[in-house]
Structure 1
Amino acid sequence: MNRKKQKLKPDVVLKNYWNGNAEFADLFNAVLFDGKQIIQPEDLESDDTDVSTIQEHEDLADSLILFRDTIKICKKSEKSGVQFVLLGMEHQEHIHYAMPMRVMGMDYSLYKKQYDSNARKYKTSEGMTADEFLSHMKKDDKFTPVITVVVYYGKDEWDGAKSLHELLALPDEWAEYVNDYKMLLVEARKSNLVFRNVNNRHLFGLLEILLDQGQTANEIKKKAIAYADVNDIETCVAMAAAGAANCKIDYQMLSKKEGVNMGTVFEELAKENKELGKIEGKAEGIIMTCLELEVSKDDIIQKLKEKLNVSEKQAQEYYTTFAK
């Protein structure tokens, strides 16, 4: 029977992993409370990741379309003393040099969404002062706090800003008067966080190996396989690690019935790279031959699409790479 191999998209597979309340709560406890179990999994509920809102200014209004990667509501808990809090998580495969501003915008959207929902209660001025009615909000109304954690899965050290102030050309004498907005960043390559959840420990243990720039591919492979052999790795952890590493894997080989084998991940990645190398070799040959015959760029792109069965974008990338 043929087994279907698909490429795990990091964003999708990581969203799926962090949708687990136990893993999600453990991450936020590690980031916010040094591993103390303040947030309990049973206190979490998934929330709508669509935080789109309307920005209004005098007689103008614009739609702001935004989606969060993962949002959970931490409900009031007598056991942990936690009040209602909105916890958001964003996944980054690459460094985004405006990330603090993006986080600020996404958090604002959640507050604006709460404000709009609250304002709908007040259709008349009954029971409200003039200022309250004008504000569409009573003096004692309160919103739910928003906390966002950014998890970065890249191999390079994060060298971007971690706060709004770092994005500004801000003289020291003005700094105290300009509001800052700090970003909570977790680098999967080396987090140093205290995890109580075994899946999180294994996920970040594998990612620290897979994202190590100081090791050769073969050394990384041996370490990851050795780590998986020693530890009891859950399927969801192996898939999340493989997704972050952009591997193609066989889902059936990673099923619980057959067991988790990190060697499979590397074997499939090696096969993928070998096949990619063959295709690139063919692409280079086609391009070189066509250039010698003075074939136009558009015709070369078309020939690449037909001969290699690739997209327009991929054909363009091959042309850019080899038509030197």
Structure 2
Amino acid sequence: MRNTGIKPDAIFKNFWRDNGHFASLFNTAIFGGKTVIQPEELKELDTDVSNFIKFGKYEESLTRTRDVVKKAANDTDFVILGIENQRKIHYGMPLRVMIYDALSYLKECQEIAGKHKEAGDKATAEEFLSGLHKGDRLHPIITIVIYYDEKPWDGAQSLKEMIGDMPSEVSGVFSDYRMNLLQVKESSQYHFDNEDVQTIFEITRFIYQGEFDKVKKFYGEKTVKSDVGAVIGVMTDSSLIVEEALESEGGMNMCTALEKLEEKSREEGRLEMKQETVLSMANLGMPVEQIATVVKESVGIVQKWISEGKAAI
């Protein structure tokens, strides 16, 4: 996607920071459509999970920042929820998610231990080792990976799938770590109760499949919010849709954006054909000035195309 001045990550983070969007995603994709997460109970957390790891003489500083993290309160308890947006297949993603989650657990352990120390709480010899007291409990962390590309995910979805063949004796006691993967292309099974979330997944799927007629049929008369359109543009790798969304006031019309996208594709196709024609004529030994006259372009542009074409070959 051509540079629009705004990073895709910023567009995603802005969209998923909305509690209604965030809750709908988790309730549908993780909790099977049950309303487990209430938007009003969500509180944004620090996305920086960087930490300093030390085991004996081994020391390492790990710098990690998550995309979006929120805490869902439920009476006096809570669950920590995280989103990771992924454009390309990451063959180490289960391990990456496990590290993010582990660093988050470690961060909570350190916070609990710090509170005990600050309060001057008495600790047994066993409690002193970790800083945690016997009754302390951590909170569950759930991470969802949103993969938005037309190519089906062919990477591992669990740590076990990243490991080579194991004897049954080893496999039986191996501690696996499974990641929650949501492929936008395969998301038709979900129906999100939040209209904005439903719109980004549905329109993106239609565009992936080239079904522009369905977009026109179902969204022709609707105004799509700017932030929704921007996410669709990022997911479909279309800088034109992103620009159309960001420049729109009060929302955008997807049909208009798609018509511009189709016209742009036709123009790019015509340009590509013209460039191929220029290279073919150059390979036949035709003078640059004559080629420029035939294709109705300046000599400078024709020379540039010939130079780029030869470099590609």
The TM-score with structure 1 as length reference comes to 0.76
User: Which letter maps to 1:116?
Assistant: Q
CA drift at 1:43: 0.3
Give the conservation status (yes or no) of the 8 Å contact 1:43–1:75.
yes
Alignment partners' CA distance in 1, 2:134 and 2:113:
12
Alignment partners' CA distance in 2, 1:211 and 1:271:
17
CA drift at 1:75: 1.2
Alignment partners' CA distance in 1, 2:15 and 2:27:
17
SS at 1:34 equivalent: coil
Give the conservation status (yes or no) of the 8 Å contact 2:226–2:245.
no
Where structure 2 has 5 or more consecutive residues not aligned to the other structure, the ranges are: 286-299, 302-306
The one of 153, 157, 164 aligned to 1:162: 157
The one of 86, 92, 110 aligned to 1:92: 86
CA drift at 1:275: 6.6
Alignment partners' CA distance in 2, 1:201 and 1:68:
24
The one of 169, 175, 180 aligned to 1:179: 175
Where structure 1 has 5 or more consecutive residues not aligned to the other structure, the ranges are: 293-306, 309-317
Relative to its length, the structure with more helix (as a share) is 2
SS at 2:10 equivalent: helix
Alignment partners' CA distance in 2, 1:230 and 1:9:
29
Match of 2:193 in 1: 196
Match of 1:17 in 2: 15
User: Which letter maps to 2:169?
Assistant: E
Give the conservation status (yes or no) of the 8 Å contact 2:244–2:252.
no
Residues 1:140 and 2:135 are matched in the alignment: yes
Larger mean CA deviation between 122-131 and 187-196 belongs to 122-131
Give the conservation status (yes or no) of the 8 Å contact 2:245–2:252.
no
Alignment partners' CA distance in 1, 2:85 and 2:312:
35
Q: Which runs of 4+ in 1 moved over 6 A?
A: 279-282, 318-321
The CA RMSD measured in Å over matched residues stands at 3.3
Give the conservation status (yes or no) of the 8 Å contact 1:163–1:182.
yes
**Greater relative contact order (Cα 8 A, min sep 6): structure 1 or 2?**
1
Q: Specify whether residues 277 and 90 from structure 1 end up closer, same or farther in structure 2 by C-alpha distance, changes over 3 A only.
A: farther
CA drift at 1:264: 3.5
Alignment partners' CA distance in 2, 1:52 and 1:201:
33
Identity of aligned residues (%): 33
- TM-superposition CA deviations, 1:142-185 (whole Å, max 9, x none): 11211001111110111111111111112333212110001111
Alignment partners' CA distance in 2, 1:65 and 1:135:
22
Within 5 Å, give how 1:1-324 maps onto structure 2. Answer: 6=4, 9-77=7-75, 83-123=77-117, 127-169=122-164, 170-191=166-187, 192-212=189-209, 215=210, 220-231=211-222, 233-247=224-238, 248=240, 249-251=243-245, 254-256=248-250, 259-269=251-261, 274=267, 322-324=311-313
Q: Specify whether residues 230 and 263 from structure 1 end up closer, same or farther in structure 2 by C-alpha distance, changes over 3 A only.
A: closer
